[in-house]
Chains A and B, each alone.
Chain A
């Protein structure tokens, strides 16, 4: 690659990153703004960070969000992983049927998924945190399945047979041979489920019922009245947490590589 071409491609990447991160910079900026206005800079302050924990509204929405996200992504991971293993050993025709059904929530519009679940839930259970968790599992299970399944497919049957041949019980073979191969897929499926659940608005919005608020739905209702600035502070913290975690993971991998 010539230097000019290289420079141009870096410039292009930079511009796209600027596009993606510009709103995030704005929000971080706002979290330090000593003014209720969204467009006027009133000086630097940390007060939104300090008053964050005493804002009951936000704290309860944060609690709800964390509970729903964790519960749904953990349950989705368990359900999805065992489903993936089962589907892998099914007859081809049955597996194709299951995969077809699994694609539905991925391909269907969020609004249709949200509404259809709401129509079902209102018949059998009062809408609330529980129904939101069910709804979140419904749209995140496919991500788990499609992350685990390729791992199973690339796992050589001969490896498992070798383990059994060497005297391992099926359970032992699963723990020592199958699971280590599966784990990266399970983990990335879990992280995807977590991210999707955390970022979801539409499906939560239709299935939450009155009184329950996640951060997303609370923000939606506040949009007209004006956003409580503590929310900028909270989002900044969450975002930076994810960013630092990513850096750490990257750093750790670099060290591992160096050691090699």
Chain B
């Protein structure tokens, strides 16, 4: 249509933007990570991850992020499947209901979980009302995991739902036609064909779960120290930007590593957004 070469210059402002606001900041954080206060080159900030305290936080983060991701997947897949099979005219509305909670402030929603889970909170009141023993999970790993599942669940549901919508209904019928029962069709056709959605969902839940510090602050009550909390404290309380940057780089490497593992599983290469 229009002159391709000339039209491509519409992206020029964005190219400048990417250089300044995406690439440059990463160089900055790298610069801080490999220097000390005095500005001399050092790997101490990166190696600081081997400090037992930091290592413990990192493993705890990985552990919580993994369980969050797995549980989200287990909850979300049936939701996406049911939504997909729903025979109503305005499915979009129902799908929107999963995004709507984001319009209630994130901080307040997590705070509400604090209220629900606290020792004399709503959950325990309900449990004792029906004669069950109360549970004390606030300020534990379990509460942090629950908060993350709550916060990230929509990010797992939506990509899987989108992937399911892209499957040609006739393919599912063809499987039944060739003798496959519901379960075989699900395992051999539906799941492999929604793989892209599953992988996007896993990345979109695992990465923020690995680096979150707010949920653990609110529902962990300072007792659950994740790598995100350690980094935040280096910047706000300890004011050791170099150490904070070093740990951030380590976190980034972890994120990249987990993503390259996922990408290896997902052989199909498409340059689009992961949503």
A: residues with CB less than 8 A from B are 1, 9, 12-13, 16-17, 19-24, 26-27, 30, 38-39, 79-80, 82-87, 89-91, 94-96, 98-113, 115-120, 123, 134, 137-138, 141-143, 145-146, 149-150, 157, 160-161, 164, 170, 173-174, 195, 198-199, 201-202, 206, 215-216, 219-220, 223, 227, 231-232, 235, 238-239, 242-243, 246, 250, 253-254, 257
Q: Is the CB of B89 within 8 A of A39?
A: no
Q: Which of the residues A9, A83, A150 comes within 8 Å of B272, measured between beta carbons?
A: A150
Distance of A224 from chain B, by nearest CB (Å) = 10
Q: Is the CB of A23 within 8 A of B112?
A: yes
Distance of B252 from chain A, by nearest CB (Å) = 6
Main secondary structure on chain A at its contact with chain B? helix
Q: Is B90 an interface residue (CB 8 A)?
A: yes
State which of B10-18, B50-58, B131-139, B167-175 sits at the interface with chain A.
B10-18
Distance of B197 from chain A, by nearest CB (Å) = 15
Q: Is B144 an interface residue (CB 8 A)?
A: no
Contacts of B96 in A (CB 8 A): 246
The count of chain B contact residues (Cβ–Cβ below 8 Å) is 87
Evaluate whether A111 and B232 lie within 8 angstroms (CB atoms) in the complex, with A199-B105, A250-B90 already known.
yes
Q: Which of the residues B4, B118, B272 comes within 8 Å of A39, measured between beta carbons?
A: B118
Q: Which residue of A lies closest to B99 (CB)?
A: A195
Main secondary structure on chain B at its contact with chain A? helix
Q: Is the CB of A146 within 8 A of B272?
A: yes
Q: Which of the residues A20, A30, A111, A195 comes within 8 Å of B150, measured between beta carbons?
A: A20
Q: Which residue of A lies closest to B89 (CB)?
A: A257
Q: Is the CB of B17 within 8 A of A219?
A: no
Q: Is the CB of B7 within 8 A of A109?
A: no
B: residues with CB less than 8 A from A are 1-2, 4-5, 7-15, 17-18, 20-26, 28-29, 32, 75, 78-79, 82-83, 85, 89-90, 93, 96-113, 115-116, 118, 120-122, 150, 153-154, 203, 207-208, 210-214, 218, 228, 231-232, 235, 241, 244-245, 248, 251-252, 255, 259, 271-275
